[in-house]
Amino acid sequence: MPINYEVINPNTDVATTKTLLHEVIPLTGTIVSGTYGTFPDDDNVKNYSHGMFQSVYDYPYLSSSANHIFDLTIGYDESSGFYNTSNTQNTKKTNMYNQFSQVLLGYTGSANRVRLFESDLTLNEDNSMKEVFFVNLSRLLTKDQIKKGSVSITLGTASYGSPFGGTVTYTDANATENAGTLNTVGGDYGILLDTANNLTGGVVFYQAGVMALTASAFSGTAGLPADFYDGLSLADVMTGSAITASADAFRHRLYNLQFNNTTEINSAVYFCRASHNKFNYSNNPTYLSSSAIRVKNLNRDNAPVSYITTIGLYNSQNELLAVAKLSEPLRKDPTNELTLRVRLDY
């Protein structure tokens, strides 16, 4: 253990910074449909007995190597034309819609009912999306939030047999850090648009990592395919099938999904200043040969030299709280002064 320390002055030797780190997250449609096992019973897709959502992994989920990438579910509001108490899982579908809505949009009106998702940035009850596919992205992928303006999703719009015979791509191209989004109780959201064809696909909530895609997002320019999923229309799937079947249908038509995530890194930078007359000798056992300092070669006029490889940061009880390693030894002698900048990220 070292016996010589230098004080770190919190006023002059410590700085704090915040930086945003972005990673590109590309999710190809094949990974969620057909890569592992046979669609729709893919080994990387987990269904639950409650049947309220479906989880998608990047590898067969029974493996410890699997990472959760997103959950899929659908929902519709009670005011939707799809709503019917005789529908399969009708209550669960409305519950899912209400749950996402209350978390992401909150309540409104004297009746204090949940807001409806809207395909615009006004929340004035126009352009409501009453039937919605929800893509709930894992925090593992989105980290602190999705980067605004980076989302792109491509869906197949052709018939079930070859869904990617036609595609539509929605992006949040209008969203930036300073504009093109609306702030709600669930964080900021932006609109997913096919700008070329002036189509609206849904909305993306950046902090929550949730995409709410309107059921008509699969229309493209040619309209909804009659054979949306295995001989069934979209309306049949959303009303007469379980939520998991709708999730299967979504996976079957997901061609590509890409976004940039954001990690906020708060850093403390410690400036470790070794002045000219400090740290020039060493306790390293190899430093001496029969008590003689090797680097001085028995000449008192030669300057003492040491080679720094490690920086230890200590508290007042001499406990080592953090350690930093230099990638190569750094020569220290009385002719130089060093400032070693140690950054700790939180």
Partner 1 sequence: MGFLDNSGDIILDAVLTDVGRKRMAEGNFRIVKFGLGDDEIDYSLYNADHPSGSAYFDLEILQSPVMEAATKQASSIKYGLLSITRTDLVYMPVLELNQKSGVDSVLKHNNIILLAANKATYTTLAQDANIGASKVLEPNTLTPSSKVIIESGITSADRQPTRENRDNMLVSTNLVDLQFDVRFDSRFMAGLISVQPRQDQSFANNTDGSRRITLTAFARKSAVSATQFMDNYVTAMADGLEDLVLQYTTAETDETGTNLSQLAGPRGGMTALSFAPSTEINAQGTASPSYYSLYGSTGVVGTSLGFASTDSFDYIDTTVYVQGLTTGASIQLPIRIVRQQA
Q: Which residue has the tokens 């220290």?
A: 332
The values of phi and psi at residue 90, to 5°, are: -55, -45
Span between the terminal Cα atoms of the chain, in Å: 27
Angstrom distance (rounded) from CA 199 to CA 216: 10
Angstrom distance (rounded) from CA 343 to CA 346: 10
Between 3 and 196, whose beta carbon lies closer to partner 1?
3
Counting every residue, how long is the chain?
346
Rg of the chain (C-alpha set)? 29
Between 4 and 122, whose beta carbon lies closer to partner 1?
4
> What is the closest distance, in whole angstroms, from the C-beta atom of residue 21 to partner 1 in the complex?
16
The three-state secondary structure class of 217 is helix
Q: Which of 107, 195, 329, 336 binds partner 1 (CB under 8 A)?
A: 329
Q: Is 62 in the site for partner 1 (CB under 8 A)?
A: no
Between 20 and 320, whose beta carbon lies closer to partner 1?
320
Q: Is 266 in the site for partner 1 (CB under 8 A)?
A: no
Q: Is 60 in the site for partner 1 (CB under 8 A)?
A: no
Between 182 and 308, whose beta carbon lies closer to partner 1?
308
Angstrom distance (rounded) from CA 191 to CA 170: 9
Which parts of 209-238 interact with partner 1 (CB under 8 A)?
none
Q: Is 3 in the site for partner 1 (CB under 8 A)?
A: yes
C-alpha dihedral, 137 to 138 to 143 to 148, nearest 10°: 0
Tokens, residue 315: 């508290």
Between 159 and 336, whose beta carbon lies closer to partner 1?
336
Q: Which of 135, 142, 326, 337 binds partner 1 (CB under 8 A)?
A: 326
Angstrom distance (rounded) from CA 18 to CA 300: 48
Q: Is 68 in the site for partner 1 (CB under 8 A)?
A: no
Q: Which of 159, 234, 278, 339 binds partner 1 (CB under 8 A)?
A: 278
Q: Is 331 in the site for partner 1 (CB under 8 A)?
A: yes
Per-residue x/- track, 285-324, partner 1 (CB under 8 A): xxxxxxxxxxxxxxxxx-xxxxxxxxxxxxxx-xxxxxxx
> What is the closest distance, in whole angstroms, from the C-beta atom of residue 264 to partner 1 in the complex?
18
Angstrom distance (rounded) from CA 235 to CA 219: 13
Q: Is 343 in the site for partner 1 (CB under 8 A)?
A: yes
Q: Is 21 in the site for partner 1 (CB under 8 A)?
A: no
Per-residue x/- track, 159-188, partner 1 (CB under 8 A): ------------------------------
Using an 8 Å Cβ cutoff, are 75 and 98 in contact?
yes
Q: Which of 115, 130, 143, 332 binds partner 1 (CB under 8 A)?
A: 332
Q: Is 12 in the site for partner 1 (CB under 8 A)?
A: no
Q: Is 17 in the site for partner 1 (CB under 8 A)?
A: no
The three-state secondary structure class of 31 is helix
Of 234, 226, 247, 221, the C-alpha closest to 168 is 221
Angstrom distance (rounded) from CA 256 to CA 168: 10
- Say how many residues touch partner 1, by CB under 8 A: 72
Q: Is 2 in the site for partner 1 (CB under 8 A)?
A: yes
Of 186, 234, 189, 208, the C-alpha closest to 76 is 234
Measure Cα distances from 220 to 159, 215, 279 in Å.
12, 11, 70
> What is the closest distance, in whole angstroms, from the C-beta atom of residue 206 to partner 1 in the complex?
29
Q: Is 15 in the site for partner 1 (CB under 8 A)?
A: no
Between 34 and 312, whose beta carbon lies closer to partner 1?
312
